[in-house]
Structure formats: structure tokens, C-alpha cells
Amino acid sequence: MKTMTDPRTMQQEADALRRAGRRLAVVPTMGALHEGHLALIREARLRADVVIVTIFVNPIQFGEGEDYARYPRDPAGDASKVQAAGADLLFVPVAAEMFGSDFQTHVSVGKIGLPLEGASRPAHFRGVATVVAKLFHITRPHVAVFGQKDAQQVAVIGRMIQDLDFDIELVVVPTVREADGLAMSSRNAYLTEVQRSEARVLHASLRSAAERIRSGDRSAPAIVGAMREMITSRSSGLIDYVSIADSATLHELVSLVSGQRVLISLAVKFGTTRLIDNIHVTV
């Protein structure tokens, strides 16, 4: 595996590989890699000749007071995991190379970025779309692999790919979970033992919502209410949002309709640690 830090060198390498007829996949990450990331790399391995993993803790997707400075970083551990998972190229740029002093161009998405995470983190998706556009230009992939755990991020990037005519296939990999259902996340490392134990309620609440829908409940507010009740009664978590929305548009729903595909999602804070999770359900 080759490691690169310079965007121009990475770009030239990617361009040469494309000219040589190779199919390229990119897996953009912020490092602190866990099994969820490795599942993305393994999926990329199945879909391309050359797998590029990027590790970059992107400053412009963190808001004021968020955890940019203390976001977990493990460069040595990450590199060996990426290699073991079968990647060919590791791209690890530094922030000063990615965002020079006169940087001033942004990619922003419209209404798909406004609810849910976008409501709680106003500049987040502008930062995500901008850095992903840059990483796409630098790594020139045919395929880009993202995790379903960041459901709205996947929707935003899909929208950007379509709207700006990126010639890139977006592949979404199911969320990888701990044995008790907690979605793997680099931020789980922040949790105390008690919080970690309580946090299992997040996935449990998503599963119980899916079960209610399967049993015929068509009232989104009633289902959301039951989820909120479950989370607050079983944990110290402070709910940021619990939502049932149309999977494609992310419009919040009231009455569910048979055949409709919905995204059930939530964000809950345990102390200073904000966790998100979601599932898609076909009603």
C-alpha cells in the first residue's frame, strides 16, 4: 500500500491509473477507523481494481463548539487497518494543503441538507459537500463508498453527484453494529461505561419503530412519541431529534403510506457525545 499526503501527487497517480484503464474506488473517512469503515473498504475492494482510502478530519464540517479539536485520531493504527482491509492507496492530506489561506469556494446543497443533521449543524453539509467534491477531484474515482449510518450525508452526496454531473457511482454500505445493536462510530470512544450501556436504546428504539410499522401503525407522530418515551425512560440521553421522513426527499412525514420507503433517524446526546443512528423501512 502506498501512502500519499500531497493532493497534486495523489491526483496525478489517480489520473495515470485511469489512463491505464483501471477502475478506481474511493472510501472517504475521517480516520479513527472501526469495523464500519473496514466494511466500506472491503465493499470497495469488490467493485474496483484500485481502492483509495482517504483520511482527513475535515475542519469545515465541524461547527463552533463541536468536537473538531478532540475528534479521535489514530494515524498509525488507521494505516495498518487500511492495509489489512486491502486498500491500495492511502491519501492523508493536511488541512493547510486542503484549505489554503485564500480558500473561498463552497459546494452547498439545498433543501435535502436542511432538516435533521442540517437543522442541528447549520454549516455541516456545506463542509461535507465541499470536501467530498475536492476529494472526488483529487482521487478521480469511478465508485465512491459511504456508510448508511450517515444517512443524510449519503443523500446530500447523491444529490451533489447528480446535480453537478460527477461521473461517479455512489455505493452505500449497511451500518455495522456492535453485538448489542449500537451503531459503530468513532465517537463511541467518548462514552463512559454507563453511557455506552444506555446507548443500546438507540437501535432498540429504531427496531421497535420498525416493528410498530410492520404491525400496521401508520401515524409517524405516534411512533416518534413512543421512541422518545423509550429513549428518555431507559437512558440519560438528551434527544436532539427523532424523525420519520421520506427516504428520498427527507421530508418529515405524518401519515405513512403502504409501499413508501421511510428513513427513521435520531440524534441523541449522552453528556457531550452526540450519537446518530437510522434505519430505512419500507412501509
Q: What is the dihedral angle through the alpha carbons of 35, 41, 45, 50, rounded to the nearest 10 degrees?
A: -150
CB of 36 closer than 8 Å to CB of 174: no
Q: Decide: is 75 part of the binding site for a second copy (CB under 8 A).
A: no
Q: Decide: is 112 part of the binding site for a second copy (CB under 8 A).
A: yes
Q: Decide: is 35 part of the binding site for a second copy (CB under 8 A).
A: no
Q: Tell me the site size for a second copy, rule CB under 8 A.
A: 33
126-66-100 Cα angle (round to 5): 50
Name the segment binding a second copy (CB under 8 A); options: 27-35, 66-74, 109-117, 255-263: 109-117
Which one of 1, 6, 11, 123 is in contact with a second copy (CB under 8 A)? 11
What is the CB neighbour count within 10 angstroms for residue 107? Answer: 18
CB of 69 closer than 8 Å to CB of 107: no
Catalytic residue numbers?
Answer: 37
Nearer to a second copy, 125 or 270 (CB): 125
C-alpha cell at 202: 438507540
Q: Identify the three-state secondary structure at position 137.
A: helix
> Which has the closest alpha carbon to 256: 244, 265, 248?
244
Q: Decide: is 15 part of the binding site for a second copy (CB under 8 A).
A: yes
Give the count of alpha carbons within 13 A of 44, CB side only.
Answer: 31
| Cell numbers 492507496: residue | 89
Q: How far is the CB of 110 from a second copy (least distance, A)?
A: 3
Segment holding 131, helix H or strand E: helix 124-139
Q: Decide: is 18 part of the binding site for a second copy (CB under 8 A).
A: yes
Nearer to a second copy, 83 or 247 (CB): 247
Nearer to a second copy, 162 or 282 (CB): 162
Q: How far is the CB of 136 from a second copy (least distance, A)?
A: 9
Q: Decide: is 170 part of the binding site for a second copy (CB under 8 A).
A: no
Q: Residue 250: which region, alpha, beta or left (left: phi > 0; alpha: psi -120 to 50)?
A: left
Chain centroid, CA 115 distance in Å: 16
Burial classification of residue 199, based on how many CB atoms lie within 10 Å of its CB (0-12 exposed, 13-18 middle, 19 or more buried): buried
52-71 binders of a second copy (CB under 8 A): none
The contact mask relative to a second copy for 136-155 (x = CB under 8 A, - = no) is -xx-x---------------
Q: Decide: is 261 part of the binding site for a second copy (CB under 8 A).
A: no
Q: Decide: is 107 part of the binding site for a second copy (CB under 8 A).
A: yes
Nearer to a second copy, 158 or 181 (CB): 158
Chain centroid, CA 211 distance in Å: 25
Q: Decide: is 94 part of the binding site for a second copy (CB under 8 A).
A: no
Which one of 45, 81, 134, 203 is in contact with a second copy (CB under 8 A)? 134
> What is the secondary structure of 215-229 as a DSSP string?
TT--BHHHHHHHHHH
Which one of 55, 109, 154, 263 is in contact with a second copy (CB under 8 A)? 109
187-206 binders of a second copy (CB under 8 A): none
Q: Decide: is 7 part of the binding site for a second copy (CB under 8 A).
A: yes
Q: Decide: is 81 part of the binding site for a second copy (CB under 8 A).
A: no
